């Protein structure tokens, strides 16, 4: 094995990125936003969707895994702050890269010059047969601090209208199309064919730490998501009508489903001074 991981800097779909290659997978991470743009296990399609239409930076990148921190959306913030936090449009730096004992590549990254009033965050990636992505938040201030966060993953699918997500049955969710309404309960797997609100989804599932399967009959694979340190799962696809008004989505709404490991909505994180919180997702896929 090489002593130095196979990591280069270059362009990925026109974006400055770190390009990682291992015997088991390849990946690309954008310098802008620290955004995972691609994860391709050996012999499989990319797990992630990236919009082919993109506005010039610093417009946020649509697709991959945007990092939302220290707030999700504009939760608990005013209208004058950037949506989904401070790091999504920041420049990031690669702090460390190494092989682990199993031949996977481990990266440690952090946003450059981001001030979040006493909160400090770094991201760790482990790239091998599976991908593990972790956000580590430290309270370096002198008083308790509260934040929200998400790994806003856009998973590539063959047809969003035909996929199902297992692991949510029986959970409570808030429907963002019904602002102020009481929570509803999920019945069976999630899909865009839900009779109550067909063809679109913007749901915040609570008490949702765990294990999910995205079953895709068109690409004939299932994507497995395991979360740690997360209490929330956001499931989003705008559907045809809303996507038609989004220049970087359009007909692409059929090509992805967002499953966002998060702490958001009623499930905020409060850290005491000197305390640390870690949230992670592990992604894998297999033929079905």
pLDDT band at 132 (very low <50, low <70, confident <90, very high): very high
Is the model more confident about 152 or about 2? 152
Q: For 234-249, write each residue's pLDDT tens digit.
A: 999 999 999 999 999 9
Residue 3 confidence (pLDDT) = 65
pLDDT tier, 103 (very low <50, low <70, confident <90, very high otherwise): confident
Q: How many CB atoms lie within 10 A of CB 143?
A: 9
3-state helix, strand, coil in the chain (%, to 5): 5, 50, 45
Average pLDDT over residues 155-166: 98
Average confidence (pLDDT) over 136-152: 97
Summarize pLDDT for 252-282 with one digit per residue, the tens.
Answer: 999 999 999 999 999 999 999 999 999 999 9
Give me the pLDDT at residue 141, please: 94
**Per-residue pLDDT at 99 exceeds 80:** yes
Alpha-carbon gap, residue 6 to 15, rounded angstroms: 19
pLDDT per position as a tens digit, 215-240: 999 999 999 999 999 999 999 999 99
Q: Look at residue 179 and tell me whether its pLDDT is greater than 90.
A: no
Q: List the beta bridge partners of residue 257.
A: 155
**Which of 13, 125, 18, 2 is closest to 67 using CA atoms?**
125
- Is the pLDDT at 98 greater than 70? The verdict is yes
- Give dist(CA 4, CA 98) in Å, integer: 7
* pLDDT of 2 over the 70 cut: no
Over range 71-80, report the average pLDDT. Answer: 90
Query: What pLDDT is attached to residue 107?
Result: 98
Indicate the average pLDDT of the chain: 95
Alpha helices in 32-111 (DSSP H): none
Give the integer Cα–Cα distance in Å for 84 and 119.
16
H/E stretch holding 139 reads: strand 131-139
pLDDT at 193 over 70: yes
By the 8 A CB rule, do 167 and 210 touch?
Answer: yes
C-alpha 267/C-alpha 183 separation (Å) is 14
* pLDDT on residue 79: 86
Report phi then psi at 79, rounded to 5: -80, -5
Write the DSSP string, 81-104: S-TTBSSTTSBEEEEEEEE-TTS-
Is the CB of residue 115 less than 8 Å from the CB of residue 15? no
DSSP 158: S
- Is domain 6-287 annotated with CATH 2.70.98.10? yes
What is the pTM for the complete model shown? 0.96
Runs of H (alpha helix) within the chain: 239-243
Residues 112, 93 contacting (CB under 8 angstroms): yes
d(CA 216, CA 223): 8
């Amino acid at each position: 094995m090489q002593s130095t991981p196979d990591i280069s800097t270059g362009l990925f779909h026109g974006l400055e990125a770190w390009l990682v290659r291992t015997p088991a997978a390849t990946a690309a991470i954008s310098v802008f936003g620290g955004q995972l743009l691609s994860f391709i296990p050996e012999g499989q399609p990319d797990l992630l969707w990236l919009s082919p239409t993109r506005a010039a930076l610093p417009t946020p990148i649509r697709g991959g895994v945007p990092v939302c921190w220290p707030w999700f959306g504009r939760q608990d913030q005013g209208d004058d702050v950037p949506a989904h936090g401070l790091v999504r449009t920041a420049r990031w730096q690669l702090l460390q890269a190494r092989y682990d004992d199993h031949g996977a590549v481990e990266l440690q990254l952090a946003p450059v010059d981001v001030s979040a009033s006493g909160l400090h965050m770094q991201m760790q990636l482990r790239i091998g047969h599976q991908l593990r992505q972790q956000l580590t938040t430290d309270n370096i201030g002198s008083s308790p601090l509260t934040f929200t966060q998400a790994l806003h993953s856009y998973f590539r699918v063959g047809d969003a209208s035909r996929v199902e997500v297992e692991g949510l049955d029986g959970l409570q969710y808030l429907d963002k199309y019904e602002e102020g309404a009481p929570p509803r309960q999920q019945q069976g797997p999630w899909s865009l064919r839900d009779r109550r609100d067909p063809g679109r989804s913007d749901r915040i599932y609570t008490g949702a730490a765990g294990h999910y399967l995205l079953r895709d009959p068109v690409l004939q694979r299932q994507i497995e998501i395991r979360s740690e340190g997360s209490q929330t799962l956001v499931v989003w696809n705008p559907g045809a009508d809303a996507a038609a008004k989004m220049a970087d989505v359009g007909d692409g709404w059929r090509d992805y489903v967002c499953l966002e490991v998060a702490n958001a909505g009623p499930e905020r994180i409060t850290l005491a001074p000197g305390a640390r919180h870690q949230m992670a997702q592990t992604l894998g896929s297999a033929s079905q």
